[in-house]
Structure 1
Amino acid sequence: MTATDDSRKKAGEPQCAAMPEDWQRALAVVAHPDDLEYGVAAAVAEWTARGKEVVYLLATRGEAGIDTMDPAEAARVREAEERASAAVVGVTQVEFLDHRDGVIEEGVALRRDIAGAVRRHRPDLVVTINHRETWGSAPGSPWNTPDHRAVGRATLDAVGDAGNRWIFTEQLRAEGLEPWDGVRWVAVAASPAVTHAVPVGPEAAAQGLASLREHRAYITALTGEDPEAYVRSIVEGGLDMYAPRFAGRRCVAFELHPC
């Protein structure tokens, strides 16, 4: 998903700083297949092209996302689409947690699963989805979904959990994991309060388009618009959205939280 037009530059809005580059491994944690392709994938393409490692962690398989398809079949189709879309931008590790699409519960179980992934992958950077109530900051902005809010908030909490050996101790005993307090930043995508941005060049932009195109079944069910026109409007519109706040450069913008 992307933030709404009220996130575009207005007079007096602060400029976005460049995202830190002194890291090697990132873990991207979102709710559904396609969440990353609606804005983050082009930045991922830039990162992997520079030799950085990115792992995707999805809380669900998107089984409730296609009205005309049985959930079991939708889960199979959407998992395959997500793996294909990740490969387009250089991501080879895609994991699913099997929480229930549409009714993800924010709480200890979700935090435990995400903290376990942080401990396994030991990232420097964690990326997640907008955890705020709306997609924009203006009154009347579109309401965010419960799944996005739950996963975004749980991710912010789980990063702290992962570094504390006295939280989720069963992971240390039974799974052989160790605490990981090496996350330096959490970057929130599609936030209405962006602070930093990743510049995106033509090649990465093209990869971002191709990555979203892989969600063919989902896009076909979602909109009656021509799929190519739809994909271009989403990806190119997102890259242009914060350019006025980033020296005119096309970019993917984030709300960055130092840890």
Structure 2
Amino acid sequence: MTGTDVTDLAEMPGDWQRALAVVAHPDDLEYGCAAAVAAWTDAGKEVAYVLATRGEAGIDTIAPDDCGPLREREQRDSAAVVGVDTVEFLDHRDGVIEYGLGLRRDIAAAIRRHRPELVITLNHRDTWGGSPGAPWNTPDHVAVGRATLDAAGDAGNRWIFPELADQGLEPWNGVRWVAVAASSTPTHAVDAAPGLDRAIRSLLCHRAYIEVLTDEDPEQYVRSFLTSATGQASARFGGRPAVAFELFGR
């Protein structure tokens, strides 16, 4: 125990080979868990990214038709920094993603395509953090996170979305865990230290977004943000900087 009522974070399972990360926008993974992804790819594991949108509504000063291709390029560049070569986009509209059968079907199809043992997503709850007055989460994050948790089961049931089998996507019931990054109730963690410098470089690839988000020097902003974020869980992880996850078994 750490203190009187806070449980230490367990090590994330390592007995898997393929992971699929499913999030709403470019930069969601870089703000959330790129240091863990770097550690996994270093260990020879395969990680693919699926993004529901291209982040086209994310920069007020750039029109969506120009912003989408720009943010897609930044996302592919940032993924490559941490050893991820496969980045797919589902082309839902940024800012107005709707939780429902269409989103579940698209994510279930991606899971059947990639056949992961571990699925990763971002905080699906209404707020960031569990304390009173915590910042409100965005509808896109909530919809995609919740749909990903549901689609992990959908992917293994041939009678849910049977049209996917007609498209050559046979059921995949091999998902063993869904890991939620940026959860207010984490249970597990990955040592962030080995991948932290690459995580910083990965987030810096989203320069167009960062430059309108802050007046700080981009590198100083990114380093400070990720150092702080990975330090928050360190007391529950043996003093090591950590990327924390809430892990759901299947």
TM range (shorter): over 0.9
Residues 19-168 of structure 1 mapped to structure 2, 5 A cutoff: 19-168=12-161
2:216 maps to 1:225: yes
Mapped to 1, the partners of 2:109 and 2:224 lie a distance apart of 36
Q: Where has structure 1 moved over 3 Å in runs of 4 or more? A: none
Conserved 8 A contact 2:32-2:122: no
Residues 11, 232 of structure 1: CA spacing in aligned structure 2 closer, same or farther, 3 A cutoff? farther
Q: Which runs of 5+ in 1 are unaligned?
A: 1-8
Name the residue aligned to 2:193.
201
Q: How far apart, CA to CA, are the structure 2 residues paired with 1:227 and 1:27?
A: 28
1:241 aligns with 2:210: no
TM (norm. structure 1) is 0.95
Mark the runs of 5 or more structure 2 residues left unpaired by the alignment. none
Matches within 5 A, 1:165-176: 165-173=158-166, 175-176=167-168
Alpha-carbon distance in 2 for matches of 1:67, 1:200: 32
For residues 84 and 122 of structure 1, the distance between their equivalents in structure 2, rounded to whole angstroms, comes to: 24
Displacement, 1:14? Answer: 1.1
**Separation in 2, partners of 1:15, 1:33:** 31
For the residues of structure 2 that align with 1:193 and 1:252, how far apart are their CA atoms? 13
Give the direction of change, closer, same or farther, for the CA distance of 1:208–1:10 in structure 2 (3 Å limit). farther
Structure 1 CA distance, aligned partners of 2:225 and 2:68? 23
- 1:211-234 deviation line (CA, Å, top 9, x unaligned): 000000000011112211110121
RMSD over aligned CA atoms reads 1.0
TM superposition score normalised by structure 2: 0.98
Number of residue pairs aligned between Structure 1 and Structure 2: 249
Matched-pair contact (CA < 8 Å) for 2:26–2:55: yes
Aligned letter for 2:185?
A
Cα offsets for 1:11-52 (capped at 9, x unmatched): 521110000000000000000000000021000000000000
3-state SS in 2 of match to 1:249: coil
Amino-acid identity (%): 66
